Structure 1
Amino acid sequence: MTRLTEEQISVSLGRIPGWKQEDGKLCKTFSLPGFRDAVQWVVRIADLAERENHHPELLIRYRKVTITLTTHDKGGITGKDFLLAEQIEKLPIPKAH
């Protein structure tokens, strides 16, 4: 998969609300009801990442999860990043207890 142009990235960002480009990477921060919910949700992301063989950077800060995607061997954003972001968007976020 080849690295996307700025125009391709802009068009693709329109398909995934809340995601943005920062420093050549796709990123978004999600809010979850609590810490345990955040950790369990990240495990579901890990399962997706393993299936796709494409691994995001994941940062858990209490009930916030920041996901950063880039294709390291291509030196930037590719279609693989957008595909994984779209799959992450489909994961239900737990509701508050």
Structure 2
Amino acid sequence: MTNFSLRAIRTQPRAVPFALALTILALLVFSFAAVRDFAVQAGIPEHLAWLFPVLIDGMIAGSIIAMLLLRHLATREQRAGAEAKRN
């Protein structure tokens, strides 16, 4: 391996999460702007329209977190059940 490829291997683990975070941030900004504009077009006053995307994105984030937690709990219960059957 050349020195360049070794450096690429070392920097890649840091670059991937950074690129992912940057992409997610850009998506959140665009989503916020689009949903806020939709709220204004739907007749919600402009000074309250920012709440609409916050609520929607908050519900989405909460649902994702709940799914991950429930998945983890289900996996733990399955492991405990499998251990009980073995004993």
- Greater helix share, 1 or 2? 2
Q: TM-score, normalised by structure 2?
A: 0.31
Where relative contact order (Cα < 8 A, 6+ residues apart) is larger, the structure is 1
- Greater strand share, 1 or 2? 1
